Amino acid sequence: MKRVTEAEYIKGYKILITFNNGIKKIVDMEKDLWGEMFEPLKDKNLFKQFSVNKDIHTVVWPNGADFSPDSLYEIGKTVIKKSRRSSSIKNQDKIKINHNKLTN
């Protein structure tokens, strides 16, 4: 089960969400704001008032609206993947840069 650990407003109806597995996704909510509970969130001033509820591990709004973490994960576009390899790639790049400085 996915859990939301952080959320940050981007623009429009987009939120950058960090999940408990370390993956960050941009979730564009514009197409999902329909129905009695979600229609009011089309007001961007209300939309921006979301927070992360640590008890239910998802994004919530003052009017009681929320989306399941799994739904947010599913509709989001991955922007950062957490992996052990990414840090080793960064270190390899540093080594190449330092090597180039020494040889030039």
**Tens digits of residue pLDDT in 1-54:** 899 999 999 999 999 999 999 999 999 999 999 999 999 999 999 999 999 999
Cα distance between the two ends of the chain = 51
pLDDT one-digit tens code per residue, 81-93: 875 554 444 444 4
pLDDT: is 92 or 79 the higher one?
Answer: 79
DSSP 6-47: EEEEEETTEEEEEETTS-EEEEE-GGG--STTTGGGGSHHHH
Per-residue pLDDT, 80? 84
pLDDT: is 82 or 78 the higher one?
Answer: 78
CATH C-level class of 4-103: alpha beta
pLDDT: is 27 or 101 the higher one?
Answer: 27
- Sorted by where each begins, the domain ranges of the chain are 4-103
User: 74, 62 in Cβ contact below 8 A?
Assistant: no
Per-residue pLDDT, 38? 97
The pTM of the full predicted model, rounded to 2 decimals, is 0.76
Per-residue pLDDT, 68? 97
Per-residue pLDDT, 81? 82
Let me know how long the chain is.
104
